A = this chain, B = another copy of it.
């Protein structure tokens, strides 16, 4: 039971109507071309693994008044039964997906039934359900957490698990199963869709991108439910710490941010709050910076600031940073290997290779204990438990003391305060954006089921614009898959298996470019920016993440644009056109075709999706 005397937050939600979708009982769907995958080298493996669900077309759900001649119009909605399950870690906004789905189902047919599985995938296997009603939803609308239904470890992967899910869907007579989660849960969803199709089970599986890490990104998915909230809450806290630093003028704050392997949260928070430094895992990995390189980098920055009589600062670190540092990564690999061989925690350190052992012994006591923790179910280290911020603060302190002693640093003593921001943001009330995004995604799920699609993810694009400009659609999950080939470490188990993989921060992307352009100013000038607390009304309520706003993400819009070009060429080059025109067209198109063929061949760029 929860007591929500709080922000009476649903008022504004009830007021908005879904201009981006047909909110009546009509579903209008337009199908695009058959999809391919971004990973040409892996496509064969993906086709083989997903014979029933590979290559399906994209779907667009149209606004009430849009005129598309070959759109399919669905007006008849026989009563259906749908199941919904939370998979993976809680993310603010998850509840609103269920609300949106329920809302849409009841509009289409009051006899539609929505069953929530209690306790995540465990509930799915055990057929533990709760029928979603207005009453059940009433205290969870616009609220954080996943506690309306709960969750567990949440894998649907082993044959046993997949069969249990299949049995449940059959027993409960489900027409649709909606899986709410991140990268791994949606991979599981895709697998489930394939298995169901193979088994001629009539339950259609739909995925929804809900993960605060923001790492389920690709051509079809611009951002994930929860990411906006997490970044805003963390940015508020980081800004508060920046203000504190500026007033106290005597501490360096090392802040580690939850976010798993990719550094999306850290990048976005840096763009929102302008701390003095942020060290992204992707930078460290691409430049192969060692622990000493990073320490030196920070110390040099502190020294440069001291020369301007500044003895405070704020440094952001993503939790995934520790795995990006090459020598630590190698050490973690060895530890992980010994865990797998069943070596007990107490004996691991004595069985390390001489090289790894030397590094291990060098590290401070607290971090040793944390590195030895059993890895997570996906083979990665327990990132939330490894206090990278303390390790770096410790190393920086040692180095600064050394410089002080040697006389190369002449400033005041270095003082650090360490923070880990994660749990206190993860349970937040969702931001207005996440409330809306999740609610509309819930509606889209219902449309997908009405259209009878299986193995699709609900998508919304053009998100940086107001809700009435959003474009709703669905993309086959197989089109988002890649195959890992050269990885040798955490995640080694999934090599060769097609999966939706974590998207890393794109070091060539606009968001990162923006950070680089400002890095020197952030470092030296204390241009701290305080976005303030999450707002639900008034100025700031409609703010979106910087990452979303700076990237040109309208993938589908650009594909349309290309098709327009092709149509134009076709219209110009018709029988009767001049020979010169034909010649120019032929020459240009032959060269375009050649370039694209080379770029799309399996051998090209094959090292990209590691």
Q: Interface residues, chain A, CB within 8 Å of chain B?
A: 1-9, 11, 89-90, 143-147, 150-151, 233, 236-237, 239-249, 253, 274, 417, 419, 421, 423-429, 525-540
Which 9 residue pairs are nearest across A and B when measured between Cβ atoms? A243-B427, A537-B538, A244-B427, A240-B427, A533-B533, A90-B247, A145-B243, A147-B246, A533-B534
Q: Do A240 and B244 touch (CB < 8 A)?
A: no
What's the Cα separation between A249 and B151 when bound, in Å? 9
Q: Do A246 and B530 touch (CB < 8 A)?
A: no
**Chain B residues, Cβ within 8 Å of A242:** 427
**Chain B residues, Cβ within 8 Å of A539:** 7-9, 11, 536
What's the Cα separation between A253 and B7 when bound, in Å? 24
Q: Do A241 and B423 touch (CB < 8 A)?
A: yes
**Chain B residues, Cβ within 8 Å of A530:** 2, 4, 6-7, 143-144, 429
Other-chain residue from B2, B427, B535 in contact with A241 (beta carbon distance below 8 A): B427
Q: Do B90 and A427 touch (CB < 8 A)?
A: no
What's the Cα separation between A539 and B535 when bound, in Å? 11
A144-B240, A246-B2, A274-B3 known; A421+B424 contact, CB < 8 A: yes
**Chain B residues, Cβ within 8 Å of A241:** 423-424, 427
For A3, A4, A421, A529, the residue with the greatest tally of chain B CB atoms inside 10 Å of its CB is A3
A2-B527, A417-B423 known; A9+B532 contact, CB < 8 A: yes
What's the Cα separation between A168 and B487 when bound, in Å? 69
Q: Do A247 and B528 touch (CB < 8 A)?
A: no
11 A-B pairs with C-beta separation under 8 A: A2-B246, A6-B531, A7-B530, A8-B539, A9-B539, A143-B243, A144-B530, A147-B246, A417-B423, A532-B536, A535-B535
Q: Do A247 and B527 touch (CB < 8 A)?
A: no
Q: Do B145 and A244 touch (CB < 8 A)?
A: yes
**Chain B residues, Cβ within 8 Å of A240:** 144, 233, 423-429
Other-chain residue from B248, B526, B536 in contact with A538 (beta carbon distance below 8 A): B536
**Chain B residues, Cβ within 8 Å of A534:** 532-533
Q: Do B532 and A6 touch (CB < 8 A)?
A: yes
For A249, A427, A527, A528, the residue with the greatest tally of chain B CB atoms inside 10 Å of its CB is A427
Distance between A23 CB and nearest chain B CB, rounded to angstroms: 25
A contact face: mostly helix, strand, loop, or mixed? loop
Copies in the complex: 2
Residue of B with least CB distance to A2: B528
Other-chain residue from B145, B248, B423, B531 in contact with A90 (beta carbon distance below 8 A): B248
Residue of B with least CB distance to A527: B3
Other-chain residue from B146, B248, B528 in contact with A3 (beta carbon distance below 8 A): B528
Q: Do B147 and A253 touch (CB < 8 A)?
A: no
Q: Do B6 and A540 touch (CB < 8 A)?
A: yes
Distance between A69 CB and nearest chain B CB, rounded to angstroms: 45
**Chain B residues, Cβ within 8 Å of A236:** 428, 533
Q: Do B247 and A540 touch (CB < 8 A)?
A: no
Q: Do A533 and B5 touch (CB < 8 A)?
A: no
**Chain B residues, Cβ within 8 Å of A526:** 1-2
Residue of B with least CB distance to A540: B7
**Chain B residues, Cβ within 8 Å of A527:** 1-3
Other-chain residue from B8, B244, B528, B529 in contact with A423 (beta carbon distance below 8 A): B244
Beyond the given A144-B530, A147-B243, A417-B423, please list 15 additional residue pairs across the A-B interface where CB-CB is below 8 A: A2-B246, A4-B530, A6-B529, A6-B540, A147-B247, A240-B428, A241-B423, A242-B427, A253-B423, A419-B423, A419-B424, A421-B424, A429-B533, A533-B534, A535-B536
**Chain B residues, Cβ within 8 Å of A151:** 247
Distance between A424 CB and nearest chain B CB, rounded to angstroms: 4
**Chain B residues, Cβ within 8 Å of A244:** 90, 145, 423, 426-427
What's the Cα separation between A451 and B585 when bound, in Å? 89
Residue of B with least CB distance to A151: B247
What's the Cα separation between A9 and B527 when bound, in Å? 18
